[in-house]
Amino acid sequence: MARLNHLELKALSGALLEMYAQGPYTDLPTRMFTTLHRCLSFDFLGYHEISDNQNQRKCDLSGIPF
């Protein structure tokens, strides 16, 4: 497995800090995918919250501009 270089490690560290920063619960999916998009490349995003075997919240984030 290749090691992360300095710039990649710095980007990942910044992304983790943003992911764990305090913020409203309702903004979690958008904040999470916006942060991850800086480190990863993807075209389609989906988010599901499951509690007691029921889908509590589902988000299709494919239309969010990054």
Backbone angles phi, psi at 26, to 5 degrees: -65, -25
Structure tokens at 15: 């992304």
Position with higher pLDDT, 4 vs 13 = 13
Q: Is the residue at 61 inside a domain?
A: yes
CA dist., res. 43 & res. 20, Å (int) = 24
pLDDT in tens, 8-42: 889 889 988 988 888 888 888 888 888 888 877 77
3-state secondary structure of 44: coil
Q: Is the residue at 7 inside a domain?
A: no
How many domains are contained in the chain? Answer: 1
Q: Is the pLDDT of residue 65 over 60?
A: no
For the chain, the distance separating the N- and C-terminal CA atoms, rounded to the nearest angstrom, is 29
DSSP 2: P
- pTM of the entire predicted model: 0.56
pLDDT of residue 6: 94
Parent domain of 45:
25-66
What is the number of other CB atoms lying within 10 angstroms of the CB of residue 29?
A: 19
pLDDT of residue 56: 63
